[in-house]
Chain A
Amino acid sequence: MAIESPNVTADVIEASEFPELIQRYGVRGVPKTMINATEGVEGAVPEPAFVGRVVEVAKR
């Protein structure tokens, strides 16, 4: 998504190297995706549902 949109920054984070993030985001399983550090999406989600969540958060 960050390849397609100038408005997206996408980070992949190897969680075990940064335990402070596991704590901050309450990660119990992976993958977990945080949108603007506030909205958590657990597991693999179908593309349309995921982009829907992203747009929803961006509108706030």
Chain B
Amino acid sequence: MPLLSDDDRQEIEKLFTERLTEPVTVHFFTQGASPLPVPSHPCQTCRETGDLLAELSELSNKIKIVTHDLVAEADEAKRQGIERVPALIFEGKGRGKVRYFGIPAGYEFAVLLEALLDASRGTTSLSPATKEQLAKLPKPVHLEVLVTPT
């Protein structure tokens, strides 16, 4: 059964047509494709996250999903700093790195859509003053926003 209702699909397709103007690649790190599961780290939401991404990518030809296995592609995971799954990296016109860990469900689904749109266009609604401050950042900064879906 699809995760997105027909109404959702129509709304999102319209949003993507209007605002997802440039290509965006989502690197999806998951677990389970490997024949050797890691019993201590069962990924509860990997499959559903993958299904959700697949359904979204059907709604725009600008979205490309590249799936990586955390275990089988350990080198790539390490290079990208991915230690937990499910993990998404949004690759588009953004200058820094935007990532999502866990399943973007409930209220967080809107965050996923915004991340896709922002990464696609490489622009945000941040104020000119904020952009000026960010341009002067002397060193790399790592932000981790902890959220819950409800």
Which A residues form the contact surface with B (CB < 8 A)? 1-18, 21-22, 25, 27, 30-37, 47-48, 51-52, 54-55, 57-59
Contact = CB atoms under 8 A, between A and B. Distances in A.
Chain B contact patch, size range: 35 or more
B108 A14 contact: yes
Contacts of B131: 4
Contacts of A37: 142, 144
Contacts of B111: 12
Interface of B: 44-45, 81, 84, 93-104, 108, 111, 115, 118-119, 122-124, 126-127, 129-131, 133-149
Please report whether the interface of chain A is mostly helix, strand, loop or mixed according to DSSP: mixed
Nearest to B92: A3
A8 B99 CA distance: 11
